[in-house]
Amino acid sequence: EIVLTQSPGTLSLSPGERATLSCRASQSVDSTYLAWYQQKPGQAPRLLIYDATNRATGIPDRFSGSGSGTDFTLTISRLEPEDFAVYYCQHYDSSPFTFGPGTKVDI
């Protein structure tokens, strides 16, 4: 089973600042089968990034994903007020398709 670790646990930033979120896998994730999701309180998660670097439909270009192998990054170039949420990474390389524990981005 691939275990995902996210850091930091909480990121305290202000609107307009850059956010850098890390996701590390316990073993190499093949073919960049990694996604990022955003979840706001009381809502279902929303797909942001798939295949490590591809933005999902309708996702603003201030969100970007990078990385390969065991180290992946989600970057939010300039935080908007609506970006304060919890972010999860997930791999879909091999079952089980585990999630990381999440990073909370707050003000």
Cβ count within 10 A of residue 16: 10
Separation CA 2–CA 75 (nearest Å): 23
88 sits near other proteins (criterion: CB under 8 A): yes
58 sits near other proteins (criterion: CB under 8 A): no
Residue carrying structure tokens 């896998």: 25
Separation CA 83–CA 85 (nearest Å): 6
97 sits near other proteins (criterion: CB under 8 A): yes
72 sits near other proteins (criterion: CB under 8 A): no
Separation CA 25–CA 91 (nearest Å): 9
9 sits near other proteins (criterion: CB under 8 A): no
Stretch that binds other proteins, among 15-23, 60-68, 75-83, 88-96 (CB under 8 A): 88-96
- Near other proteins by CB under 8 A: residue from 11, 19, 29, 50: 50
Residue carrying structure tokens 């999860």: 88
84 sits near other proteins (criterion: CB under 8 A): no
